[in-house]
Amino acid sequence: MSPVVNPRSAHFDAIADQWDGWDDLVALGKRLDAGLAGFGLGPGETVLDVGCGTGNLTLALARALGKDGRVVAVDISPRMIEVARAKVSDPRVTFHVAEAERLPLPKASCHRVVCFSVWPHFVDRDAVARELARVLRPGGQVHVWHLASRDTINAIHASAGEAVKDDILAPAADTAACLERAGLRAATVIDDAEGYLVTARSRPA
């Protein structure tokens, strides 16, 4: 019997080689750098990049961290991970093909989690939120982040293919509530024409 293939994994496998051609990577890198600067990353943090795709945020995180910093990048698409590995040859970065509901990481192993342009693709967002809370250290932060408005994101997904056409980005208040159900505390909730950001913190030790 053939293994069951996650339709989203297959979808992103199919477009991985075209992905970077659909954006101005220099301009994107500058926007990512600016956004991360606002997050206040510490130089020695371990940061989880969930849904890393072809590694554009992964590169930006590596630029933002110091020599003792680490990036753990995960994605459900094996081909996306292959493209990202070819792009990011930094010993501080490790890659895993994994689902966000089942991360290959120990409890309390990350200072920070960034879900960049991926949250709508999670089917069971409450399960994902619980898993992100599990891997966060006390006082750690989760950022659910998009560089476009919610309406723009949803319009893109509606026309992007059968596997993702119903992957809707909910209002930021709903995402904040989801993270809070997992035991996190929402600190920033932005949902406007410029972009989307929900930041939540784990409880301090």
In a domain, 162, yes or no: yes
In-domain check, residue 2: no
Residue 93's pLDDT is: 98
CATH at residue 77: 3.40.50.150
Domain count for the chain, please give it: 1
pLDDT of residue 5 exceeding 70: no
Which whole number is the average pLDDT over 1-22? 82
Length of the chain: 205
Asked whether residue 83 is assigned to any structural domain, the reply reads yes
The Cα–Cα gap between 198 and 186 comes to 7
Contacts of 119 (CB under 8 A, 6+ apart): 125, 144, 146, 169, 175
Q: What range defines the domain where residue 54 resides? A: 7-201
Q: What share of the chain is helix, strand, coil (3-state, %, to 5)?
A: 40, 25, 35
Q: Is the pLDDT of residue 48 over 60?
A: yes
Average pLDDT of the residues in 35-54:
97
Q: What is the mean pLDDT of residues 41-64?
A: 97
Q: Which residues pair with 82 in a beta bridge?
A: none
Residue type present at position 7: P
> Residue 189 carries which side chain, given as an amino acid letter?
V
pLDDT digits (tens, 9 = 90+) for 58-72: 999 999 999 999 999
Is the pLDDT assigned to residue 4 strictly greater than 70? no
Q: Report pLDDT digits (tens) over 65-105.
A: 999 999 999 999 999 999 999 999 999 999 999 999 999 99
Count of CB atoms situated within 10 Å of the CB of 86: 10
Q: How far apart are CA 135 and CA 118, in angstroms?
A: 18
The DSSP string of 25-39 is HHHHHHHHHHHHHHH
pLDDT (average), residues 159-172:
93
pTM over 0.75: yes
Q: Which residues contact residue 104 at a Cβ distance below 8 angstroms, ignoring those fewer than 6 apart?
A: 74, 96, 98
Kindly state whether residue 71 falls inside one of the protein's structural domains.
yes
- In a domain, residue 107? The reply is yes
The SS3 of residue 70 is strand
Report pLDDT for 150. 97
Is 24 among the domain residues? yes
- Residue 195 included in any domain: yes
- CA–CA dist 142, 119 (Å, integer): 12
Instruction: Give the Cα separation of 55 and 62 in Å (integer).
Output: 10
Residue 168: inside a domain = yes
Residue 7 and residue 152: Cα distance in Å, rounded? 23
